[in-house]
Amino acid sequence: MDGEFIVDTENCEERERAYRERGTARPITVVGNPVLHRECQEVTEFGDDLARLVDDMFASQRAAEGVGLAANQIGVDLKVFVYDCMDDEGVRHVGVVCNPVLDELPAESRVLDDSNEGCLSVPSAYAELPRPDVAVVRGQDAEGKPIAVRGTGYFARCLQHETDHLYGRLYIDRLSKRDRKDVLRQMAEGTPRYETVPND
């Protein structure tokens, strides 16, 4: 079974640093910016422009101290996300997924996890959100080769969260009206730790 999944746990430090050092950190778009609220375009060209975008995404993710970043969070309308995320066993995962699609997993193979969730595009705010504790994402790597990524626990949450972004959905869209209002209040009262793009 594991043969179909990429190994994203080796040389994490070196791979992440190489991406980040080639890239330039960009400001983060925040809730209300139109690019975050619509489905992104499919990636169809796997060349230098995409490679540069991926480098910038890793640099931006690190600057904002995030564990995952979707292209629309730096204002780019393309279905690609990067991640640098620990799972619940403390194993680090680093990778890139283009054109991600989440597998529908059978109910008996997953458990809902009610952990807190946050988002770089909803700075300084958190809410509990139930998500399955296992996720499988299929897509392509930065060269266009088919890949599958499997995550559990916190990493599963990250894969689901980033895939949602690329379909125009923020985690707060999955909350009750009351919880969503509370998150937006937290955001209004907080100060982002990183540069954001104002919605004006």
Per residue in 128-143, pLDDT (tens digit) is 999 999 999 999 999 9
Q: Specify the DSSP element, H or E, that contains 94.
A: strand 92-102
- Residues with a catalytic annotation lie at 162
Please report which confidence band the pLDDT of residue 81 belongs to, taking 50, 70 and 90 as the band edges.
very high
111 backbone dihedrals φ, ψ, rounded to 5°: -130, 140
- CA separation (Å) from 38 to 33, 126, 160? 10, 22, 17
Q: Where are the domains of the chain?
A: 2-189
For the chain, the first-to-last Cα distance in angstroms comes to: 49
Separation CA 173–CA 30 (nearest Å): 14
Check: pTM over 0.75? Answer yes or no: yes
Using CA atoms, how far apart are residues 79 and 77, in angstroms rounded to an integer?
7
Looking at the domain covering 2-189, what would its CATH class be?
alpha beta
- 116-126 pLDDT tens trace: 999 999 999 99
